[in-house]
Amino acid sequence: MSDFAPWSSGNPSLSGAYAPVFDERDDTDLTVEGEIPPSLRGVFMRNGPNPQFEPDDRYAYPFDGTGMIHAIYIENGRARYRNRWVLTQELLKERAAGQRIYNSSFSAAPHADLANTNIVYHAGRYLALYEGGVPYEVNRDIDTVGLFNYDGALPNFMSAHPKLDPATGELLSLAYDLNTSGLTYLRADKTGRIDRVVPFQAPWPAMVHDVAITERHVIAFICPFVFDRSHQGPPGSWQPDKGTMVAVIPRDARTAADVKWITGAPFFQFHTMNAFAEGNRIEVVAPWYDSFSLTARSNRLELHRLVIHTDTNTLEDQALDDQACEFSRINEAYLGRRARYGYVGLRDPRPGEATQAGAFEAMARYDLTTGQRVVHRFPAAMTVCEPVFVADSGGRSEEDGFIFTFAHDAGSAGGRFVILDARHLAGAPLAVVHLPRRVPAGLHGSWIPA
């Protein structure tokens, strides 16, 4: 176990559920409340910000903080926990200096590749991703192997939110450059070889954190949160008069001319839940914001269905629910195809408790056919982030599986890893794995079966 000098901060992005941890652990034979389903065998990995050295005063979640991967290894009903920082080149320089060298994203240069946003498994490699840098490869023990640029085929950055097609094994992503407004469509085949690099231009510099896929398309929303680093103050501004531009990218695209652009009403989104296409109609379900700012919360965050009509070049916007939600996931065997169920972190404030953006008091399953919402509420003082669906290897239907999440308990120095039954989401957890150290609220993760 490695320990590093602790510090504390009053910054809301570095306190409460987001307070970092300062030890690297490997804890075995953890206490399990309930029973881990015997069909579960593999490793769950989740990435998220965890700065080792105290950042400058412009540090902001979810944009900053060197990545730390938290892993739960499950076999024969038993669980092991391990956590490790991703040893980026920048973190190694800071460790050698014994202090912070790099600045937060919205401060002046220098900036670091943080490797803090996602962890995906593709073509035999575990990749820690950050949309402002090159992937870092780690091994199954989450020890850092090093930078991975696809043998030089990666032209620059890679998205932190690629989509893995369950049928073809392709990894599809869109990289963006806030300085040039450039976008790059990237596709890696099932062997891990990049076979598409298609640069094209966005209408303005915008963050494209996530994309949606169908069997034939990659969909990106260019929202009117416009970046401009040339002036003082926050580097992004909400400019709703621009509307939202939708890039419909054929998965076999070869040039910028293959990209179709459609204009819609202004909104903002970080994540997509799923998409599918039928004829000239593409449906995308996503958490939807009525506006976005780096200094204030949106008035509305809710789940919407966005319908793209490629024959009439129009975008239709339908609200599905008005309760705030984020970190949407599905059974990824249905990714890019029609899926009935989606899962989200749900905002369900409790009296007397302060809320933190990005940490949720509940989880919900939406039936996208009927609109029904089933909610699992967590105990007082407990919050969670992303719900990750893990299919039951013996299941037959879309909802046969489990929901995995780390839970933060404000009253405890320890942590919890929670397994819910996706079929009976409102019910008591199937298992709660008790961890000797709390796990800070983070970002995205993956289940990799053994």
DSSP-based three-state secondary structure for 164? strand
- Paired strand residues for 276: 283
Average pLDDT of the segment spanning 172-191: 96
Distance CA 190, CA 124 (A): 10
Query: pLDDT tens-digit profile of 111-151?
Result: 999 999 999 999 999 999 999 999 999 999 999 999 999 99
Range from 102-116, 141-155, 158-172, 231-245 carrying the lowest mean pLDDT:
231-245
pTM > 0.85: yes or no:
yes
Q: Residue 402's pLDDT is what?
A: 98
Task: Name the pLDDT band for 354 (thresholds 50, 70, 90).
Answer: confident
Give the Cβ contact number of residue 447 at 10 Å.
Answer: 21
First to last CA, the chain: 25
Cα 136 to Cα 116: distance, rounded to the nearest angstrom: 10
Q: Is 90 exceeded by the pLDDT of residue 311? A: yes
Q: How far apart are CA 347 and CA 106, in angstroms?
A: 27
Rounded to an integer, the average pLDDT of 161-186 is 96
Q: How far apart are CA 46 and CA 195, in angstroms?
A: 28
Is residue 166 scored above 80 in pLDDT? yes
Cα–Cα distance for residue pair 267/223, rounded to 1 Å: 6
Give CA torsion, residues 424, 429, 433, 434, to 10 deg: 150
pLDDT band, very low/low/confident/very high, at 291 (cuts 50, 70, 90): very high
Tell which residue, 162, 160, 204, has the closest CA to residue 182: 204
The pLDDT mean for the chain works out to: 96
> Per-residue pLDDT for 308 more than 90?
yes
Decide: helix, strand or coil at residue 318: strand
Tell how many helices (H) and how many strands (E) occur in the chain: 1, 35
> With 90 as the cut, is the pLDDT of residue 411 above it?
no
| 3-class SS of residue 226 | strand
CA 14 to chain centre: 19
Say if residue 396 is exposed, middle or buried (CB neighbours under 10 Å; 0-12, 13-18, 19+).
exposed
Q: What is the mean pLDDT of residues 365-391?
A: 97
Region of 327 on the Ramachandran plot (φ > 0 left; ψ -120 to 50 alpha; else beta): left
CB 49 within 8 A of CB 97: no
- pLDDT tens-place string over residues 52-67: 999 999 999 999 999 9
Q: Average pLDDT, stretch 26-45?
A: 97
Region of poorest pLDDT, from 154-158, 231-235, 417-421:
231-235
Distance CA 208, CA 196 (A): 19
Distance (Å, whole) CA 413 – CA 331: 32
pLDDT in tens, 315-347: 999 999 999 999 999 999 999 999 999 999 999
